[in-house]
């Protein structure tokens, strides 16, 4: 951190990020609820039936965010609550989310609202989900209802969360619904349909709320060449392109970060080394492994805070505002989380010096929560949640983040 300016730009957003299914509890009308009922899908047989009970405890949770001096929070609206059956909307749930957003505003916390964060209503998935023709248009009645009923409380919108990770985990890896593996054609269609959904949602929000800032969150998984040999450099580039692009026309790809938007949202956690391997035709002829000498999180991936600057600097040519929509560490070692937090924010500040217009940082996550197929063992939170009592306790890393947010900078940290 030597030589790094202490302060961040005025108006910088200091927040955390969350997703409805992971924290609310009681989301029984979506595909993840059905998926987690299937034996062996979720580590340790964990369930999001209660999650963190944030649906009922959101006032308490937002008060903790205020104690941590946060001025922003990224959250998602659960589609399956708002539109439980196709074309039928639940006024009570809309009122609930008005209360949620109103409470954030009361606490002086600006919401960034995500419209799709990995969960879809059962009626939608039973009609083919995001793999189906017309899925983007099926998404839009929900979008229109949310922007009409809640848009006066929202200035920052995130249409789709990490579309390529969603497609890869659902149709290539099998960790997300519908749990398929190696279905390249479907993954391609899913990302294509999500691209269209983003474009339609972007246009709809801008028509209704022209002054709103609208974008999406792209997961930037850093692929590094195992050596400077041309074949390894090409392997890393090929692996990166698969994650960073989506279809814009038959046979044509474009970078996700180039999608229409008022800002670029970047989620970054980790990196992996890539080497050309002719024995792996099913894996693009690429061998992937953790970076030697770099610490590995409980999720199993290398995490180096200096990579954040590299990821952000790549965005310079696009000349758009940037929000770090997610970044954090899965670990029970909170001292490591504190070191990582200060180091990664130092690299964010260096990227700002490089000319990247970074306007906010949303740490993943506020509460230790349900980490999808990994269950509750993966602890990303700045706030610990006792799984028996659901009692909340701000961790030392949360106290550190509170001091950083209060100072709008990295010094002083004591």
Tell me the pLDDT tens digit for each residue of 86-117: 999 999 999 999 999 999 999 999 999 999 99
- Compute how many other C-beta atoms are within 10 angstroms of the C-beta atom of residue 402: 20
Write down the mean pLDDT value for the chain.
96
Contact yes or no for 412/397 (Cβ under 8 A): no
* Domain range 13-219+262-269+299-405, CATH architecture: Alpha-Beta Barrel (3.20)
Distance in angstroms (rounded) separating the CA atoms of residues 112 and 263: 12
Position 312 scores a pLDDT of 98
Contact yes or no for 328/363 (Cβ under 8 A): yes
Close Cβ partners of 375 (under 8 Å, ≥ 6 residues apart): 42, 43, 44, 45, 46
Distance in angstroms (rounded) separating the CA atoms of residues 297 and 161: 22
Domains in the chain: boundaries: 13-219+262-269+299-405
Q: Which of 125, 215, 83 lies closest to 161 in space, CA to CA?
A: 215
Average of pLDDT values for 348-365?
Answer: 98
pLDDT above 80 (res 119): yes
Triad 155, 156, 158: Cα angle to 5°:
145
pLDDT above 80 (res 4): no
pLDDT above 90 (res 284): no
What pTM does this model have? Answer: 0.97
pLDDT tens per residue, range 10-68? 999 999 999 999 999 999 999 999 999 999 999 999 999 999 999 999 999 999 999 99
């Amino acid at each position: 951190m030597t030589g790094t300016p202490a302060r961040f730009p005025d108006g910088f957003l200091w927040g955390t990020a969350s997703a409805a299914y992971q924290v609310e509890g009681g989301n029984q009308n979506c595909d993840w609820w059905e998926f987690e009922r299937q034996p062996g899908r979720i580590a340790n047989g964990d369930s999001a039936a209660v999650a963190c009970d944030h649906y009922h405890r959101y006032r308490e949770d937002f008060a903790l965010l205020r104690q941590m001096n946060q001025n922003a929070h990224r959250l998602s609206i659960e589609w399956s609550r708002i539109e439980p059956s196709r074309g039928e909307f639940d006024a009570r749930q809309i009122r609930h989310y008005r209360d949620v957003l109103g409470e954030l505003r009361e606490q002086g916390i600006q919401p960034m609202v995500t419209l799709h964060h990995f969960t879809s209503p059962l009626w939608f998935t039973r009609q083919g989900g995001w793999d189906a023709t017309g899925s983007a248009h099926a998404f839009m009645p929900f979008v229109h209802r949310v922007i009409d009923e809640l848009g006066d409380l929202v200035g920052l919108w995130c249409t789709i969360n990490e579309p390529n990770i969603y497609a890869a985990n659902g149709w290539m890896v099998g960790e997300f619904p519908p749990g398929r593996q190696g279905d390249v054609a479907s993954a391609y269609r899913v990302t294509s349909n999500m691209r269209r959904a983003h474009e339609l949602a972007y246009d709809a929000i801008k028509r209704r709320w022209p002054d709103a800032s609208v974008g999406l969150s792209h997961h930037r998984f850093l692929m590094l060449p195992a050596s400077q040999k041309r074949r390894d450099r090409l392997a890393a580039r090929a692996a990166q392109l698969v994650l960073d692009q989506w279809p814009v026309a038959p046979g044509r790809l474009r970078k996700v970060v180039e999608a229409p938007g008022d800002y670029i949202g970047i989620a970054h956690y980790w990196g992996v080394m890539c080497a050309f391997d002719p024995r792996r035709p099913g894996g693009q002829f690429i061998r992937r492994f953790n970076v030697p000498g770099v610490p590995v999180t409980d999720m199993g991936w290398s995490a180096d805070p200096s990579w954040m600057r590299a990821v952000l600097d790549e965005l310079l040519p696009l000349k758009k505002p940037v929000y770090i929509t997610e970044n954090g560490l899965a670990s029970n070692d909170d001292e490591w989380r504190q070191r990582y937090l200060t180091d990664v924010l130092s690299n964010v500040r260096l990227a700002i010096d490089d000319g990247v217009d970074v306007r906010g940082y949303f740490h993943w996550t506020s509460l230790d929560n349900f980490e999808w197929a990994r269950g509750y063992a993966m602890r990303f939170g700045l706030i610990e949640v006792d799984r028996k009592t659901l009692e909340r306790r701000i961790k030392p890393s949360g106290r550190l983040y509170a001091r950083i947010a209060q100072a709008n900078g990295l010094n002083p940290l004591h």
